Amino acid sequence: MDEQGVSGGGPPWWNRWGDQERAARWPWRSTVLVTAFVLAGSNFAARQQVDERADLDVFARVLLVVAAGLLLWRHRHPVVVVFGTAAATMLYLGAGYPYGPVFVTFALGCFSAIAAGHRKAAWTALGLLWTGHVLVAHWLYQWLPPSGDEAASWGSEGVVAAWGVAIVALAELARTRREQWARERAERAQAARRRADEVRLRMARELHDVLAHSISVINVQAGVGLALLDSDPEQARTALTTIKAASKEALGEVRQVLDTLRTPGDAPRAPAPGLDRLPELVEQAASAGLTVEIEGRAPELAPGTDLAAFRIVQEALTNVVRHSGSRHARVHLAHDDRTTLRLRIDDDGPATGADAGGSGNGLAGMRERAAALGGTIEAGPRRDGGFRVLAVLPLTVKEDR
């Protein structure tokens, strides 16, 4: 899957802003732009408040540069920055300098602190700044410049408080949205990994079913060929011919399975096997010395159900060849009210305890196939001897095939 498709979500600039790598970089450009804006805006504000506030002097400009310059550390030390900008802003206002863009520096520091998860620090800094402004505007103004200043109206304090709360609320909203985007990215990545795991499991199960059956036939015929090589060369030749045919078929099916790993959207080169290939299974089983009797007939199935049913029968017959002393098996197919397909595979036993090179995952693979379709598998010894595999699969009539 495309990496960009997994990690997408939210504006690209926001994702980069929130990355840990960005926190390790210095935000020079934005800090310089903010500093220039604050200085220019404060000069303009000073001209508008000539008779109301103190004139901008060197100390005022130093405070403005310090307040804006602190933003250079906002990604590395957000708590220090939010309290530092609050202190610089408070000194600026306490000295009677004009109201203006100095509040922008504190707003950005507060925003950075909340985005970094330091909510308490941001709210505390806001509370201290507002408290300091109230003290200056209603009590300390008598001893602070400019001379002849009067107490501010309490209505203006409400505006200041509302402004501060709006900044914090906006930062909280932005952080919430950012966390939501992060969760969405994580969920998409997890879904992509889950889909990849499902594909790998399906491939492993398919390869197991393809190879286990063919290799079991090859194993049996190889034993026959070795046993009869000297006493009955013609029969040994027949066994080798069967081995050649089984290996050719296995190679073809493996190639078909591996074709699914090609570029998405490519059509399979050959149709997936289904119950219409049961006669081939019967012939292969016969070449391994197993007689198979087919009872009943399945209806037309959807491709997924058809493939699962075929692989279940194939694996069950493979297990008979490997582990049963019986040379006769029965496959019974039935369907109930066009809603359920029932597959029953019986052999008369007894179990030989022999191992024909299997992996031991056959029954687990059958159960996974059935469960993927919402069906069930029951497997175990019968009361009268032998072994039975019973598969119940939801039946889907082949309408959109």
Q: Which is it for the CA torsion 170, 174, 180, 183, positive or negative?
A: negative
Sorted by sequence, the CB contacts under 8 Å of residue 69 that are 6+ apart come out as: 31, 35
Please name which of 136, 223, 150, 209 lies closest in space to residue 364, comparing C-alpha atoms.
209
190 pLDDT more than 70:
yes
* Virtual torsion, Cα 365, 368, 370, 374, nearest 10 deg: 180
Diameter of the chain by CA atoms? 126
> In the prediction, which pLDDT does 148 show?
57
- 129 and 216 share one domain: no
Answer yes or no: is 157 within a domain: no
Answer yes or no: is 164 within a domain: no
> In the prediction, which pLDDT does 36 show?
92
Q: Which residue has the higher pLDDT, 264 or 382?
A: 382
- 244 and 372 share one domain: yes
Return the top range by mean pLDDT from 32-36, 189-193, 270-274: 32-36
Answer yes or no: is 61 within a domain: yes
341 pLDDT more than 80:
yes
Q: What is the percent of the chain with per-residue pLDDT over 90, rounded to a whole number?
A: 10
Strand order in the sheet with 387-394: 291-295, 328-336, 340-347, 387-394, 376-381
- 93 and 203 share one domain: no
- 131 and 219 share one domain: no
Domain count, the chain: 2
> In the prediction, which pLDDT does 351 show?
73
User: Any idea what the CATH number is for the domain that residue 337 is in?
Assistant: 3.30.565.10
- Encode pLDDT of 46-64 as tens digits: 888 777 777 788 998 999 9
- 362 and 215 share one domain: yes
Mean pLDDT of 336-352: 83
> In the prediction, which pLDDT does 118 show?
87
- Encode pLDDT of 294-340 as tens digits: 998 888 888 888 888 888 888 888 888 877 878 889 999 988 767 88
Integer CA distances (angstroms), 221 to 76, 235, 327, in order: 72, 10, 14
* pTM, entire model: 0.45
* CA–CA distance, 68 with 64 (Å, rounded to integer): 6
Work out the pLDDT band at 66, boundaries 50, 70, 90. Answer: very high
- 142 and 216 share one domain: no
Answer yes or no: is 401 within a domain: no
Q: Which domain holds residue 141?
A: 3-152
- Encode pLDDT of 75-101 as tens digits: 889 999 999 999 998 888 888 788 888
265 pLDDT more than 60:
no
- 130 and 10 share one domain: yes
- 136 and 207 share one domain: no
Domain endpoint, select from 104, 121, 152? 152
> In the prediction, which pLDDT does 81 show?
92
Please name which of 223, 204, 212 lies closest in space to residue 360, comparing C-alpha atoms.
212
Sorted by sequence, the CB contacts under 8 Å of residue 24 that are 6+ apart come out as: 75, 76
- 197 and 273 share one domain: yes
